[in-house]
Amino acid sequence: MRIGFGLVWLVDAALKWLPAYRTNFLQQLRIGAQGQPWWLHPWFHLVLGVASSRAVLLAYGSAVVETLLAFALIVGFARKSVYVGGAIYSLLVWATADGFGGPYSASSTDVGPAIIYSVVFLALLVVNARSETSNYSVDRLIERRWPGWRRVAEIGGQT
């Protein structure tokens, strides 16, 4: 499951490296802000204010983060930290570009993909907590050499 999810992130990351993503980054944030309830306007105003002068930097940052998440998931590097960080990053995307999955109406049927990504990251965290170190992870190799690595890779990772 982890490797498959990593492949999904790899495709997403590849799309983030395309010039069209950088060109349309700020517009995607504006689209996410449209139609939101009045009480969310300050949040989206803040996001757009921060991003307006840093759009290209933030677009490259998104591409880098998603590429690192993809490779860490595929090879099984620092799994616990990656699962927590990936869930937080996905929630941030959901709260900005995805516009919290809204605006919602009687005909709304989709909460947006980023919140689902957060749920998958948290599910991987639970699976990781209930199982031994994955045989198919770099973490296992690192833990053999440095047992303290368990703190980064495993839930309850005391040595």
The answer on pLDDT for 67 being more than 60 is yes
Angle between helices 2-16 and 55-75 in degrees, nearest 10: 160
Measure the CA–CA gap between 91 and 51, rounded to whole angstroms: 17
**Predicted local confidence at residue 151, as pLDDT:** 83
Identity of the amino acid at 159? T
**How confident is the prediction for the chain on average, in pLDDT?**
88
**Predicted local confidence at residue 15, as pLDDT:** 96
The answer on pLDDT for 12 being more than 60 is yes
Average pLDDT of the residues in 91-114: 76
Higher pLDDT, 66 or 144: 66
> Residue 16 is inside which H or E element, if any?
helix 2-16
Average pLDDT of the residues in 44-58: 95
Highest mean pLDDT (candidates 82-86, 123-127, 155-159): 82-86
Distance of CA 42 to the CA centre of its chain: 23
Measure the CA–CA gap between 73 and 7, rounded to whole angstroms: 8
Identity of the amino acid at 4? G
Q: pLDDT-based confidence at 159, cuts 50/70/90?
A: very low
Measure the CA–CA gap between 58 and 60, rounded to whole angstroms: 5
The pTM for the full model equals 0.87
Q: pLDDT-based confidence at 118, cuts 50/70/90?
A: very high
Longest pairwise C-alpha distance within the chain: 56
The answer on pLDDT for 112 being more than 90 is no
Measure the CA–CA gap between 32 and 125, rounded to whole angstroms: 28
CA-based nearest residue to 6, from 66, 58, 84, 56: 66
Q: pLDDT-based confidence at 132, cuts 50/70/90?
A: low
Three-state SS at 87: helix
